Amino acid sequence: MRKFFSSPTAVVGTLLLAIVLFAALFGPLVAPFDPQEFHPVARLQGPSATYWLGTDQFGRDLLSRVLNGAPATVAFGLFATAIGVGIGSVIGVIAGVSGGWVDSTIMRILDGLLAVPDLLFTLLIVTVLGGGMEHALLAVAIAFTPGMARIARSAVLSVRTRDYVRAAVARGESGFYIVTFEVLPNALSPIVVESTIRVSFAIMIGATLGFLGLGAQPPSTEWGLMVAEARQFMFRNPWCVAIPGLSIAMAALGFNLFGDALRDALDPRRSH
């Protein structure tokens, strides 16, 4: 643990993640204003003693809006990744454990799906499902599935021929036992590292969909949507696009750095 915090990446990552998670859990409670409340005399203001981060085109307090948007944004990243990792791991483990034609069929299909860039894949699925936060979440989860399946498969393959797995096979353990208690726990660390980093991609794609009008809908305080709504007024008050934009960057950076530090801690060979 002490070793984990000896790298600056881990310290900064943990710090950013703590701030972001705090905002996600308690943001709406500590927000100084109602995020939807108009203050007509204080439109498009810069930071001041009353409005710490300024106000948007309706005079709504930006700090309160960003804090209120935090749960939605962070939950989006976490749930989309969790679903994608869940389905992907099941597929990857099935491929890795079965081997043979099952494995090669699954892998060829995954190769095909991986050739479609993430954002394009997500856009296609969102178009099929229709916009909105839940559909966007599902789309990101589906788009993540092939990549995660690949990682889970290679993790499984790397432990499949280890002695302890062979020992379990020799003991005559059931396939289910071997997969659940011998293979999975040992294949878990690359999956955990990759998922942590993917949360930051999920947050970025979610915000991008919100920005394009295909994710969260007004009057939501989702950060991507906030940037899109404020764009018309950005030259009069850059704060109203900068604040939600930098919030997204902060959340993404937190998960990214934390994931990198986790990788270095779990797999010392790969760290430089």
Partner 1 sequence: MSWGYLIRRLLAIILVLVIVTFAVFAITAILPGNAAIMILGEYATPDAVAALQKQLHLDQPWYMQYYSWVSGILLHGDFGMSLRLSLPVTQVVGEAFLNSALLAVTALVAVTIIAIPLGALAALKRGTAVDLIIGLFSYLGTALPEFVTATLLLVFLAAPNTGPFPAGGFVAPWEDLGGFASHIVLPAVTLGLILLAHVSRQVRSEMSEVLSSDYVRAARLKGLSERRVIRRHALPNSLAPAVAVISLDIGYLLGGIIVVEEIFAWPGLGRVLMYALENRDLPVIQAVTLLLAGIYAVSNLVSDIVIALLDPRVRYA
Task: Name the residue nearer to partner 1 (CB basis): 159 or 212.
Answer: 212
CA atoms within 13 A on the CB side of 43: 9
Give the binding site for partner 1 (CB under 8 A): 108-109, 111-113, 115-120, 123-125, 127-128, 130, 200, 204-205, 207-208, 211-212, 224, 227-228, 231, 234-235, 238, 241-242, 245-246, 248-250, 252-253, 256-257, 272
Buried b (16+ CB within 10 A) or exposed e, 139-153: bbbbbbbbbbbbbbb
Q: How far is the CB of 231 from partner 1 (least distance, A)?
A: 6
What is the amino acid identity at position 29?
L
Residues 65 and 73: their CA atoms lie apart, in Å, by 12
Task: Name the residue nearer to partner 1 (CB basis): 116 or 167.
Answer: 116
**Other CB atoms within 10 Å distance of the CB of residue 265:** 18
Cα–Cα–Cα angle for 193, 138, 187, nearest 5°?
A: 25
> Angle, to 10 degrees, between the axis of helix 184-211 and the axis of helix 118-129?
70
Task: Name the residue nearer to partner 1 (CB basis): 41 or 115.
Answer: 115
Q: How far is the CB of 227 from partner 1 (least distance, A)?
A: 6
Task: Name the residue nearer to partner 1 (CB basis): 183 or 257.
Answer: 257
- The answer to whether the beta carbons of residues 258 and 240 sit under 8 Å apart is no
Task: Name the residue nearer to partner 1 (CB basis): 15 or 167.
Answer: 15
Q: How far is the CB of 48 from partner 1 (least distance, A)?
A: 20
* Terminal Cα distance for the chain, rounded: 19
Q: How far is the CB of 122 from partner 1 (least distance, A)?
A: 8
Q: How far is the CB of 192 from partner 1 (least distance, A)?
A: 19
